[in-house]
């Protein structure tokens, strides 16, 4: 089924929790390599749930998913683990290792990949400085503010230039100036080849960047391209 130019494909996908009703139904989606999409929808529409399928944390209740041209129905644990290493994730609730410093959280993916410690120091320092956390590099993340934790989580997700970046409300805890700067980071990463999906409630961000929008509504997924965004009218995100 899969087109080699697509990083993610979903067909007839449903998601449900336990014995409850489906929260998303008949999802059909193809994300081309190198694309950039926003993911929108009211609170509870299923954005985090859809992202959790994309980062392989959850299986659909039905349908087929392929990620990096691997049909997940046939992937074993080792294959899933190796696919997951190509995905950077910014979780809505950050999921930092709270007893480690900001530096060590961001260094983690590089250490796992076996990079030289001197190179790690250089890259992590550069990125944490860019997100304006140079003064907090050695702070244990448990003491950081919400917006600071969010920036550590973003730095950790992008430090090894993943093939796919999935970010769940990555600018929800920062002011407009920092949000603009973080968006610039995602845009630059995308220009280097990373496929990006960003869940957001921010009208400002969606309006400032002319990327297509995956919109979840009534358990379904609708795609809007920048030229027909006006068709959305007053849809609240």
Ligand X SMILES: Nc1ncnc2c1ncn2[C@@H]1O[C@H](COP(=O)(O)OP(=O)(O)OP(=O)(O)O)[C@@H](O)[C@H]1O
- Decide: is 49 part of the binding site for ligand X (CB under 6 A): yes
Closest residue to Mg ion: CB criterion: 48
- Coil/strand/helix, residue 190: helix
Count the residues of the shown chain that bind ligand X, applying the rule CB under 6 A: 11
Looking at beta carbons only, is 17 or 122 nearer to ligand X? Answer: 17
Q: C-alpha distances in angstroms, 182 versus 173, 177, 205? A: 12, 9, 11
- Decide: is 162 part of the binding site for ligand X (CB under 6 A): no
The stretch among 28-36, 43-51, 77-85, 95-103 that binds Mg ion (CB under 5 A) is 43-51
Q: Tell me the Ramachandran region of residue 23: left when phi exceeds 0, alpha when psi lies from -120 to 50, beta otherwise.
A: alpha
Q: Encoding tokens for residue 182?
A: 């973080």
Contact pattern for Mg ion over residues 79 through 118, marking x by CB under 5 A: -------------x--------------------------
- Decide: is 48 part of the binding site for Mg ion (CB under 5 A): yes
Among 7, 29, 45, 196, binds ligand X (CB under 6 A): 45
Q: C-alpha distances in angstroms, 27 versus 33, 205, 225? A: 19, 25, 18
The stretch among 37-45, 78-86, 140-148, 217-225 that binds ligand X (CB under 6 A) is 37-45
E strand residue ranges, the chain = 6-16, 22-32, 36-40, 62-67, 70-71, 87-90, 164-168, 195-199, 213-217, 220-224
- Decide: is 193 part of the binding site for ligand X (CB under 6 A): no
Among 19, 43, 138, 218, binds ligand X (CB under 6 A): 43
Q: Encoding tokens for residue 16?
A: 């449900």
Spatial CB neighbours of 98, under 8 Å, sequence gap ≥ 6: 140, 141, 142
Q: How far is the CB of 36 from Mg ion (least distance, A)?
A: 19
- Decide: is 58 part of the binding site for Mg ion (CB under 5 A): no
Q: Report the interface residues with ligand X, using CB under 6 A.
A: 17, 23, 41, 43-49, 92
């Amino acid at each position: 089924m899969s087109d080699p130019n697509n990083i993610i494909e979903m067909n007839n996908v449903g998601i449900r929790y336990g014995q409850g009703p489906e929260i998303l139904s008949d999802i059909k989606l193809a994300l081309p390599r190198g694309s950039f999409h926003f993911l929108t929808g009211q609170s509870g529409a299923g954005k985090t749930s859809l992202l959790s399928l994309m980062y392989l944390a959850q299986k659909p209740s039905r349908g087929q998913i392929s990620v990096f041209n691997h049909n997940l129905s046939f992937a074993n644990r080792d294959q899933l683990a190796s696919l997951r290493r190509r995905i950077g994730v910014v979780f809505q609730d950050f999921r930092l290792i709270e007893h480690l410093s900001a530096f060590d959280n961001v260094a983690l993916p590089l250490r796992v990949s076996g990079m030289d410690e001197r190179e790690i120091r250089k890259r992590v320092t550069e990125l944490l400085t860019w997100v304006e956390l140079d003064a907090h590099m050695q702070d244990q993340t448990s003491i950081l503010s919400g917006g600071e934790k969010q920036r550590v989580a973003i730095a950790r997700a992008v430090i090894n230039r993943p093939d796919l970046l999935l970010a769940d409300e990555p600018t929800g805890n920062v002011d407009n100036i920092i949000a603009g700067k973080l968006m610039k980071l995602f845009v630059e990463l995308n220009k280097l080849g990373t496929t990006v999906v960003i869940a957001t409630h921010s009208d400002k961000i969606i309006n400032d960047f002319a990327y297509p929008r995956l919109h979840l509504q009534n358990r379904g997924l609708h795609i809007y391209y920048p030229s027909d965004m006006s068709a959305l009218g007053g849809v609240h995100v």
